[in-house]
Amino acid sequence: MRMTRRRALLGAAMSLTLLAAGCGSSDDGTDSTPAKTTVSDADVEAALQAGGNLTVWAWEPTLTKVVADFQIKYPKVKVNLIKNGSGNDQYTALQNAIKAGTGVPDVAQIEYYALSQFALSKAVTDLNTFGAKSLDGTFTPGPWSSVHAGDKIYGLPMDSGPMALFYNKEVFDKYGIAIPKTWEDYAAAAAKLHQANPKAWITSDSGDAGFTTSMIWQAGGRPYKVDGTTVSINFADPGTQKWTGLWQGLIDKKLLAPIPGWSDAWYKGLGDGTIASLVIGAWMPPNLESGVKAASGKWRVAPMPQWAAGEKVTSENGGSSLAVTEASQNKTLAYGFMKYATVAEGAQSRTDEGAFPATTAQINADAFKNKEFPYLGGQKANEVLAEAAANVAPGWSYLPFQVFANSVYNDSVGKAYTGGGTLQDGLKGWQDASTKYGQEQGFTIQ
C-alpha cells in the first residue's frame, strides 16, 4: 500500500521503463468502450475446479493466509505468491517484466494511484470481460471508483484507506488539547502544543505526494482531469488553495515535525509523543501495533478534521487493488482467485487479520464495527473508520502517469518544506514537471 520513500536509484530505473509503458498508450486511450462480458461466473468456477498455476505478485501480508485457504478450497490450483517489494519496487519489476515479455505474473497488487498508469499502457486487462460490472455495490464507493477508468474496470479493490485523525490521547490530555473538529481547530492545536512543548509537534510532514493529493482531495480540489489520453493538470483551483493556505501556515510557523514518514525516527516520534497525531488512512492501526508497541493504549481515532464545522467529508489515502495482467495465460483462473481474495472468503479472512476492508459486507458487519482495539484503549475504532469510508468525496482521479509524478514530487514541492518558496509555487513546479512528462509520453495536456 503506499508511500515508499523514494529511492533515487529506483527513480532512475523507473524513468527508463516508464517510457515503454507510456509510449504504448497514446493510440488506444480514445477507445473507451468496455469489453463485453464473455466469461460467465460458471466459466470462472469451472476454471477454478479445473485448476492450473497462478503467479501472484503482492506484498500485502494478509494474502499469505488467503492463498493457503484458497488452495485448500481449490486443490487443483497452485498459487505462487511472490512478495516482490512494496510499491515502486514492484512497479519497476512489473514494468521490466512486461517490457521483456517474460516472467509477467497473472495477478499483481497495484495501488489505486498507480492503476490507471498500468491500465492505459494495457498492462492490465479490462475485467468487464468477466462481468465485474455485476460487483456494483459490493465495494465501498471510494475504492470502487478508484478501479474504474470510464466504464472499464481494471482491478478489484483489496483494501481501502479512508482518512481519519489518529491522535495520541495522552499528549492531547496533558496539554489540554481538544480533538480538533475543523482544520482551523487543528492549526490552533498545532500552535498550542508546540508552544507548550517545543519538542512536540501536532504531526510530521516533510513532503509526501500521497498525503498532499489526499488532502487536496478532501478540500474539494480536483487538480487532475483525465479523459482517455487527454489530461489536464491544474493546482490553482480553489480546493488546492484551501489546503495550501492551511499547510503553508503550519510550515511557516514551524509547526510540522520535519520527520520523513515511515522512517525509524517517525516510528520513534509516534511512540514518545513527539508526533502527536496523524491524518492517515484507516489501514493504520496494525502499523501502530507492530511498529510502536510502546505507545499501546495511548492512541485513539477521531474523524478527519473538516473545512467547515458540521461537514463530513473524507478522502482516500493509499489502498490497493488486485489486477489481472494482459500477459496472463489464464485470465479466467486469475480472475477467480482475485474474486476469492477480494469478495468471497478472502475478504473476511483479511479483515479478521487486521486489514481495512473495501467491501460493504465486511465494513457494515456488526462484528467489525463492534471490535474493540486494545491498542487504542479499547476504542471501537471501526465505527469511526467505517463512517469515514462512507464519506469519501467523489470525482477524484489520478494521473495516468502518477507513479512518475509522485517520484518527482520532492524535486519541486519538497523544497517548500525546507523554506524554498511556497507550497503553491512548489505545486506549480510539480504541475509543470508532470505536464512536460505527459507531453513527452504522447498525452494531450490541456
Binding test (CB under 8 A) with other proteins, winner from 2, 6, 298, 300: 2
Residue 113 CB burial class (10 angstroms; 0-12, 13-18, ≥19): buried
Cell of 414: 519538497
Kindly state whether residue 326 participates in binding other proteins, applying the rule CB under 8 A.
Answer: no
Of 233, 231, 230, nearest to 222 by C-alpha is 233
The CA–CA distances, whole Å, from 260 to 256, 263, 402 equal: 11, 6, 20
The strand ranges marked E within 268-424 are 277-281, 299-303, 320-324
Give the whole-angstrom CA distance, residue 361 versus residue 40.
23
Kindly state whether residue 318 participates in binding other proteins, applying the rule CB under 8 A.
Answer: yes
Binding test (CB under 8 A) with other proteins, winner from 53, 294, 329, 432: 294
Binding test (CB under 8 A) with other proteins, winner from 60, 126, 205, 208: 60
* Region of 22-30, 32-40, 90-98, 221-229 interacting with other proteins (CB under 8 A): 90-98
Q: Report the 3 state secondary structure along 374-387.
A: HHHCCECHHHHHHH
Binding test (CB under 8 A) with other proteins, winner from 35, 46, 82, 365: 82
Give the whole-angstrom CA distance, residue 304 versus residue 181.
8
Contact 46, 96 (CB under 8 A): no
Kindly state whether residue 19 participates in binding other proteins, applying the rule CB under 8 A.
Answer: no
- Give 275 or 324: the residue with its C-beta nearer to other proteins: 275
β-strands 277-281, 163-168: how paired?
antiparallel
Q: Minimum Å distance from CB 4 to other proteins? A: 5
Binding test (CB under 8 A) with other proteins, winner from 101, 198, 238, 310: 101
Q: Minimum Å distance from CB 294 to other proteins? A: 5
- Give 45 or 89: the residue with its C-beta nearer to other proteins: 89
Cell of 256: 510540522
The CA–CA distances, whole Å, from 46 to 39, 129, 163, 322, 332 equal: 11, 16, 39, 21, 9
Residue length of the chain: 446
- Give 4 or 328: the residue with its C-beta nearer to other proteins: 4
Give the whole-angstrom CA distance, residue 247 versus residue 261.
17
Task: Annotate each residue in 333-372 with x if it binds other proteins (CB under 8 A) or - if it does not, as one string.
Answer: --------------------xxx-----------------
Q: Minimum Å distance from CB 137 to other proteins? A: 25
Q: Minimum Å distance from CB 283 to other proteins? A: 4
Kindly state whether residue 102 participates in binding other proteins, applying the rule CB under 8 A.
Answer: yes
**How many residues sit in the footprint of other proteins (CB under 8 A)?**
52
Binding test (CB under 8 A) with other proteins, winner from 6, 17, 22, 247: 17
Which residues partner with 323 through β-bridges?
108
Give the whole-angstrom CA distance, residue 66 versus residue 81.
10
Residues 20-59 that bind other proteins (CB under 8 A): 57, 59
Kindly state whether residue 65 participates in binding other proteins, applying the rule CB under 8 A.
Answer: no
- Give 286 or 442: the residue with its C-beta nearer to other proteins: 286
Q: Which DSSP helix (H) or strand (E) runs through 167? A: strand 163-168
Kindly state whether residue 176 participates in binding other proteins, applying the rule CB under 8 A.
Answer: no
Binding test (CB under 8 A) with other proteins, winner from 106, 159, 208, 316: 159
Task: Annotate each residue in 257-286 with x if it binds other proteins (CB under 8 A) or - if it does not, as one string.
Answer: -----x-x--xx--xx--------x-xx-x
| 400, 340, 352, 137 alpha-carbon torsion, rounded to 10° | 60
Contact footprint for other proteins (CB under 8 A) = 1-5, 9, 12-13, 16-17, 57, 59-62, 82-87, 89, 92-93, 96-97, 99-103, 159, 262, 264, 267-268, 271-272, 281, 283-284, 286-287, 290-294, 318, 353-355
